[in-house]
Chain A
Amino acid sequence: MKKLKNIEELKDFRDKCAEKFSGPDKIRIIVGMATCGIAAGAGEVFDSIAGEVMKLGLGDKVTVVRSGCMGACHAEPTVEISIPGEESVLYGNIDSQRAKVLVKNHIMRNEVVTELVLEKAYETIS
């Protein structure tokens, strides 16, 4: 990667990045991995999800992301699944077993695992 030399280059690069991460066929599974999440076992959850995604051959369309704190400390580890065109779903109290269930049900069968859903209690400024 060369250094960005001006605002136009940054804008072009932004558009490229945006396409890369949020194209119409890009499913994102985000694992909350701040210190608190990791302490609660988010590392194992991440490995479990990444392993399941590979095993089921979903590697091309699903990106598994290590992110920071999602805010729901009472329900760590937390996982958010976002499928383009659908409302993203936040899950709480996930362990490595439940992580596999999320991949199978939510991604493969497109069924939300209602008993693990957390209310997403915030809006984000645009």
Chain B
Amino acid sequence: MSTKKQLRIALKNCGVIDPENIEEYIARDGYMAIANILTEMTPEDVIEELKKSGLRGRGGGGFPTGLKLEFARKNKGKKKYIICNADEGDPGAFMDRSILEGDPHSILEAMVICGYAVGAGNGYIYIRAEYPLAIERLKIAIKQAYKYGLLGKNILGSGFSFDIELKYGAGAFVCGEETALINSIEGNRGEPHFKPPYPAEKGLWDMPTTVNNVETLANVPAIFNMGAEKFASIGTKTSKGTKVFALAGNVNNVGLVEVPMGTTLREIVFDIGGGITGGKGFKAVQTGGPSGGCIPVQFLDVPIDYESLREIGSMMGSGGMIIMDEDTCMVDIAKYYLEFTTDESCGKCTACRIGNKRLFEMLEKITEGKGTEEDLVKLKELGEIIKDTSLCGLGQSAPNPVLSTMKYFYNEYEAHVRDKICPAGICSSLTKFEINKDKCIGCTLCAKACPAACISGKVREPHEIDQDKCIKCGACYKACKFDAITKS
């Protein structure tokens, strides 16, 4: 076995080929998968092969891709549709953008394969308008594929025809949910609806539809080129292949990584990521975006797959991975994600619309030092209710950042509420800056830096901070060259 921790399947062409030149993709066996399929395989064979590969949805839920296609194949409809979900919206996530910008033809080829498998003649790529370069490269790729007869009527003389169109999203996070996404393509409000009916029965224009995420699709041509057995030999018992993660936060090698399922967080953060910036201690890693949770240090050696992440209170999600060092306040992090989800809630369900707002307000109260122990009980109770009573994935998972940080970092919540302190010194209302009289030499740097003019003292004599006027901005703390200012 090789010692390299990363294995590229979905990213195999990214950073290697010129994405604007179809010939480079073809030179690396591009469109060979669909060519072989159209020549030698029935749609049922294609579905069987995908089932054998064990490929599961990379957008979050982890639903088996072969099964999804099989449902859409079996359901009857005058027309059927394939949708590529490129509405990547998790803060700090850029896996799908990188694939679309680096290897757009692999997505087109995969969509044709899926179309052939379910008997669909049309595909849509739902992509956020904030990704102009990805859109540009997709447009070029689509045009080239038509020109070479790899899209459109009678592909490679097989009699099978498939068209692809782009649809732009306006950047609403909820439109990543498949039923909301379909509403948005139809020109309606981007609101989710109850499932069933699933898109495989009644999807776009009420026809059987398959919605797949970008990274899932990027694996499809590769599976047919390497063989389902080989793909299934990579990964864990329940999760096959690799996963792309966007590594961000307090880690040295911020970047896009692709690792076999079953790699541990420790390998990702320390071996691939090169450890924590500034030599600080590791505190937690956030996976799954606003739907996921924070994983503490004791789970660094858990081999990650869909199931193991769920067991420890987070989820695979689309692959955002934010590393947090010891100076991170977990209550503040939970508040950040709740602020995001309250903003992005479509407002349809009361539990999500109002419940998350109340969660956010309680967190705000706690970070301002006004929280009570009763709030902690309410926080948990309300979080559970929102999870149980929301209609779509956004509401059902929105309380996860709160619940997981409460589970693993309860002491920090207690410190905020009981002792009115923020252990990480992040929550400004709970932070106190003081000058150590023994260390202060009276250089006046802090007084000059203070925007609130609340530091007084004579030159060459110890200074003092007027606590009533202090706005806790930390300017003095940064300005002091003698370590004389303490933050607590």
Given contacts A4-B149, A17-B23, A35-B97, contact A74 B258 (CB under 8 A): no
Binary per-residue interface labels of chain A (91-126) against chain B in the complex, 1 for a CB within 8 Å, 0 otherwise: 000000000000000000000000000000111111
User: Is B426 close to A, CB under 8 A?
Assistant: no
Q: A4 near B4 (CB under 8 angstroms)?
A: no
Binary per-residue interface labels of chain B (139-170) against chain A in the complex, 1 for a CB within 8 Å, 0 otherwise: 00000000111100000110000000000000
B157, chain A: closest CB distance, angstroms? 5
Chain A residues near B256 (CB, 8 Å)? 69, 71, 73
Q: A124 near B29 (CB under 8 angstroms)?
A: no
User: Is A56 close to B, CB under 8 A?
Assistant: no
A interface SS class? mixed
Measured in the bound complex, the distance between the Cα atoms of B101 and A74 in whole Å is 18
Q: A70 near B14 (CB under 8 angstroms)?
A: yes
Point out which of A7, A30, A70 has the most chain B C-beta atoms below 10 A from its C-beta. Answer: A7
CB nearest to B30 among chain A residues: A14
Q: B16 near A30 (CB under 8 angstroms)?
A: yes
Q: B15 near A21 (CB under 8 angstroms)?
A: no
User: Is A58 close to B, CB under 8 A?
Assistant: no
Q: Which of B39, B99, B272 contacts A7 (CB 8 A)?
A: B39
User: Is A55 close to B, CB under 8 A?
Assistant: no
B105, chain A: closest CB distance, angstroms? 11
CB nearest to A7 among chain B residues: B35
Q: A71 near B222 (CB under 8 angstroms)?
A: no
Point out which of B134, B150, B255 has the most chain A C-beta atoms below 10 A from its C-beta. Answer: B255
CB nearest to A123 among chain B residues: B4
Q: Which of A20, A38, A68 contacts B15 (CB 8 A)?
A: A68
Q: B19 near A21 (CB under 8 angstroms)?
A: no
Measured in the bound complex, the distance between the Cα atoms of B92 and A36 in whole Å is 12
Chain A residues near B258 (CB, 8 Å)? 71, 122
Q: B157 near A22 (CB under 8 angstroms)?
A: no
User: Is B31 close to A, CB under 8 A?
Assistant: yes
Given contacts A18-B27, A20-B27, A68-B101, contact A32 B15 (CB under 8 A): yes
Binary per-residue interface labels of chain A (59-96) against chain B in the complex, 1 for a CB within 8 Å, 0 otherwise: 00000011111111110001010000000000000000
Measured in the bound complex, the distance between the Cα atoms of B255 and A122 in whole Å is 12
Contact count band on A: 35 or more
User: Is B102 close to A, CB under 8 A?
Assistant: yes
Q: A34 near B148 (CB under 8 angstroms)?
A: no
Q: B14 near A71 (CB under 8 angstroms)?
A: yes
Chain B residues near A123 (CB, 8 Å)? 2, 4, 6-8
CB nearest to A121 among chain B residues: B6
Residues of chain B at interface, number, CB under 8 A: 56
Chain A residues near B5 (CB, 8 Å)? 121-122
Q: B7 near A69 (CB under 8 angstroms)?
A: no
CB nearest to B246 among chain A residues: A73
Given contacts A6-B156, A123-B7, A125-B9, contact A72 B253 (CB under 8 A): yes
Given contacts A7-B35, A18-B27, contact A67 B17 (CB under 8 A): yes
Chain B residues near A21 (CB, 8 Å)? 23-24, 27
CB nearest to A88 among chain B residues: B16
Q: B27 near A34 (CB under 8 angstroms)?
A: no
Chain A residues near B2 (CB, 8 Å)? 123
Measured in the bound complex, the distance between the Cα atoms of B35 and A121 in whole Å is 32
Measured in the bound complex, the distance between the Cα atoms of B95 and A16 in whole Å is 32
Measured in the bound complex, the distance between the Cα atoms of B14 and A4 in whole Å is 25
Given contacts A36-B94, A73-B254, contact A68 B14 (CB under 8 A): yes
Chain A residues near B429 (CB, 8 Å)? none
Chain A residues near B27 (CB, 8 Å)? 14, 17-18, 20-22
Chain A residues near B15 (CB, 8 Å)? 30, 32, 67-71, 78, 80
Chain B residues near A4 (CB, 8 Å)? 148-150, 156
User: Is B47 close to A, CB under 8 A?
Assistant: no
Q: Which of B11, B26, B28, B134 contacts A71 (CB 8 A)?
A: B11
Q: A67 near B18 (CB under 8 angstroms)?
A: yes
Chain B residues near A80 (CB, 8 Å)? 15
B352, chain A: closest CB distance, angstroms? 31
Q: B12 near A124 (CB under 8 angstroms)?
A: yes
Q: B252 near A74 (CB under 8 angstroms)?
A: yes
Chain A residues near B222 (CB, 8 Å)? 125
A34, chain B: closest CB distance, angstroms? 4
Chain B residues near A54 (CB, 8 Å)? none
Q: A122 near B29 (CB under 8 angstroms)?
A: no
B266, chain A: closest CB distance, angstroms? 15
Given contacts A6-B156, A34-B101, contact A125 B14 (CB under 8 A): no
Q: A73 near B147 (CB under 8 angstroms)?
A: no
Residues 333-389 (chain B) with a chain A CB within 8 angstroms: none
A residues in contact (CB < 8 Å) with B: 1, 3-7, 9-11, 13-14, 17-18, 20-22, 30, 32, 34-36, 38, 65-74, 78, 80, 121-126
Q: List 30 A-B contacts (CB under 8 A).
A: A3-B147, A4-B149, A10-B31, A14-B26, A14-B30, A20-B27, A30-B16, A34-B97, A34-B98, A34-B101, A35-B133, A38-B133, A65-B18, A67-B14, A67-B15, A67-B19, A68-B19, A68-B103, A69-B102, A71-B11, A71-B98, A74-B252, A78-B15, A80-B15, A122-B7, A123-B2, A123-B7, A123-B8, A124-B12, A125-B9
- A4-B149, A11-B32, A35-B97 are known; give 11 further A-B pairs, CB within 8 A: A1-B147, A4-B156, A11-B35, A14-B32, A18-B27, A18-B28, A34-B101, A74-B253, A122-B5, A123-B8, A124-B16
